[in-house]
Amino acid sequence: MEIPTEKTEPPGESLLSIRNLKTYFHVKEGLAKAVDGVSYDIGHGETLGLVGESGCGKTVSALSILKLLDVPPAEYHSGQILFRDQDLLKMTEDQMNAIRGRSISMIFQEPMTSLNPLLSIGFQIDEVMVNHLGLSPKQARERTVELLDMVGIPLPRKRAKEYPHQLSGGMRQRIMIALALACDPELLIADEPTTALDVTIQAQILDIMLSLQERFNTSILLITHDLGVIAETAHRVAVMYAGRIVEEADVKTLFKNPLHPYTRGLLRSVPNINRIDPSARLQEISGMVPNLCRLPRGCAFYNRCDLREERCRSEKPGLYCVENGHYVRCWLHQTRE
């Protein structure tokens, strides 16, 4: 039985408010509940870090925002994705196309999947602005050159004429950022934007994202495995496990006082938020993530938890608010409403 402690408060000042989102996949084995009742908010100019082990539903929750999953096998089962108080899940494909790349844009983990190898990078960035902002090709190219310069591409006018394969991984990732920022989005979704890059380039790319956020007050959903990246860039952090948020807090609180046994496991290696090794990764926790088609009756983390009690096996914990803005889905932290 689920205790009704899920976040239900109205979105308030949030730019994006996800409420009880359920995104499932119809697979041979049955119904894989990849995102199983996720709620989070992102305020104007805020960065929300989304962390969790591989397969916990981070990318699926991000792709749901832009409705980029193939339906079927995917199904946007229920919930709300309120963007400026409008529910994206109710929008038509035409309405979504007006939003994608314009108000909400996404940097994908593998830049080659979203760059067309047959078109010059300049043309691809120009095109977004011609389509969404109604600029003339000439105006668009001027702005493309500015954008490339802003993301640290040397000789931008010349580089604009090149094709994706002529650029290094780090350069392509910068192009992706330029492309994602071309229309001045209100929300930028960055899915492992720096994971494939070496540490120096990672730092440069993050700096670029942060300075752009400062300049344009962009909201960012940042998905990463990298604790150093989270510590340096996120304002709030949400930890996902088996399709649900198990803990959410502002970044300092989460590092200083992680409460969910899963979060504690992930952060075991991090003694101090101010001294995080930039290459620190989430710790391995022994045991297996549950099968999303056969989620346990009680807490999804039960089989791996050091602190489990009998009720954890049979009853699902709610998401409890332990202090202002700090939520934990664990019976050990049950609070009265």
| Interface positions with ligand ATP (CB under 6 A) | 25, 27, 32, 34, 52, 54-60, 73, 292
Question: Closest Cα partner for 212 from 244, 190, 241, 236?
Answer: 190
Q: Is 111 or 318 the residue whose CB approaches Mg ion more closely? A: 111
Helix (H) or strand (E) holding 201: helix 199-216
Min CB(189)–ligand ATP separation in Å: 12
d(CA 183, CA 179): 8
User: Measured on CA atoms in the order 212, 165, 226, 320, is the torsion positive or negative?
Assistant: positive
**CB under 5 to 8 A by kind: which of Mg ion, ligand ATP, none does 81 bind?**
none
Residue 224 in the binding site for Mg ion (CB under 5 A): no
Please compute, for residue 24, the number of CA atoms within 13 A of its CA located in the half-sphere on the CB side.
20
Min CB(45)–ligand ATP separation in Å: 25
Q: Is 58 or 244 the residue whose CB approaches Mg ion more closely? A: 58
d(CA 237, CA 33): 22
**CB under 5 to 8 A by kind: which of Mg ion, ligand ATP, none does 111 bind?**
none
Q: Is 143 or 225 the residue whose CB approaches ligand ATP more closely? A: 225
d(CA 238, CA 112): 28
d(CA 192, CA 183): 21
Binding mask 34-73 for Mg ion (x = CB under 5 A): ------------------------xx--------------
d(CA 114, CA 117): 9
Min CB(243)–ligand ATP separation in Å: 7
**CB under 5 to 8 A by kind: which of ligand ATP, Mg ion, none does 34 bind?**
ligand ATP
Min CB(9)–Mg ion separation in Å: 28
Q: Is 115 or 240 the residue whose CB approaches ligand ATP more closely? A: 240
d(CA 97, CA 183): 13
Give yes or no for a contact between 53 and 289, defined as CB atoms under 8 angstroms apart. yes
Q: Interface residues with Mg ion (CB under 5 A)?
A: 58-59
